[in-house]
Amino acid sequence: MKNLTRRAIVAIGTSALTTVLVGRARAAGDDGPGVTSSEIKLGTTAYYSGPASTAAAYGLAQLAYFRMINDRGGINGRKINLISLDNAFSPPKAIEQTRKLVESDEVFAIAGSLGTPTNVAIQKYLNGKGVPNLFLTSGAERFNDPKEFPWIVPFYPIYAAQGALFARYILGERPAAKIAVQYENDDLGRDYVKGLKQGLGDKVGMIVKELSHELSDPTIDSQILDFKAAGADVLIQFTQSKFAAQGIRAAAALDWHPMHLIASNAGSIGTTFIPAGAQASAGVITATWERNPVDPTQLDHPAVKDFKAFAAKYMPNLDLNNAAALPGYNNAYMIEQVLRRCGDELTRANLLRQATTLKDITPPMFIDGIGVYNSPTDYRAIHHLQLTRFDGTGLAAIGKPVLLDEFG
């Protein structure tokens, strides 16, 4: 973020990043809050500080994407004014900032709000207000509840299904494994563990040690020592990049070399594998659904070239190994498509309708074979995952993308 303008730096200091926009006039009719003849005002929160601030690139990518869209004329003649506030990965902060967006800034919708505990904090509030939380970034199952929470629309692979996918891989590769499981003590970690155990079925006794940690913990090194002492030969970490990197380093320091799997949300070369050490990280398995812009096999793909051109112009200090920018970019792309589908009917009800009838819209930075679709009765949108292995340089695919629907 070294080259951010003085205004943006000041804005981050007050927990806000805002794009200021002007568009051409057009009658607003019966449009919803936050919509004028020249503007669509959206709001979101992301981690610009706190224990998960390595993911700040997510929010910055959203902002940068809509700057690009505005430079191209906006959406159906209107510019996008995205107000992105810092939730510091704190539930109380998330609800405070979201209330500000809805009640003071009067945004049309919340766009791609980041984080499981932070989205849990705002779920009831937004649903009660009838404000769409459009394509929130969390795979917790609780967000796919169209009956009770129709205004809460997720866009992320379900964590429980990812856990079950890891279980199937372990059973196939190491059927007599002794598994150690570490998870963060929140809905993200618990959903992953739930899926893992469902996937193991009557083999759940293969888990010899299971420990949780708090995101406020400074280190998890002692847990890695406990896992080794338990005789585990498979280590699974369902946590954030900071702790996954600690786990990789701690295992290497103990000269312990289990089959090591980490959650997709921590499977970043730039924020996990490189900080942990490329040599120590070699062989670690994760999952993805997005193209890697530094993968030598992807360099000539048009979508990768477009992403790099976007980053060079709108995020010049982005480390392309930082995977957090990709979901922000893809999320903003999906929001753009839904807004375009709304046409001139910019009501919250129509926005919800367009966002829950996805078909034949796939972000360009998704790898081939990833299905994207949902319905008003099932909001799950990403239906495949690709298992990968870090080879010391990049992420090498393990087989083909797997359909998550078979895991429930």
Tell me what pLDDT residue 322 has.
Answer: 85
Inter-residue contact 43 to 105 (CB < 8 Å): yes
Tell me what pLDDT residue 349 has.
Answer: 97
Residues 6+ apart with CB under 8 A from 15: 48, 49, 85, 86, 88, 93, 97
- Decide if pLDDT at 16 tops 70: no
Q: Tokens representing 89?
A: 């990965």
Bridge-based pairing of strands 285-288 and 133-136 is unpaired
- Decide if pLDDT at 3 tops 60: no
- Decide if pLDDT at 392 tops 60: yes
Q: Tokens representing 147?
A: 């009956």
Share of the chain above pLDDT 90, in %: 85
- Decide if pLDDT at 403 tops 80: yes
Minimal CA–CA distance to 161: which of 403, 407, 386? 407
Tell me what pLDDT residue 52 has.
Answer: 82
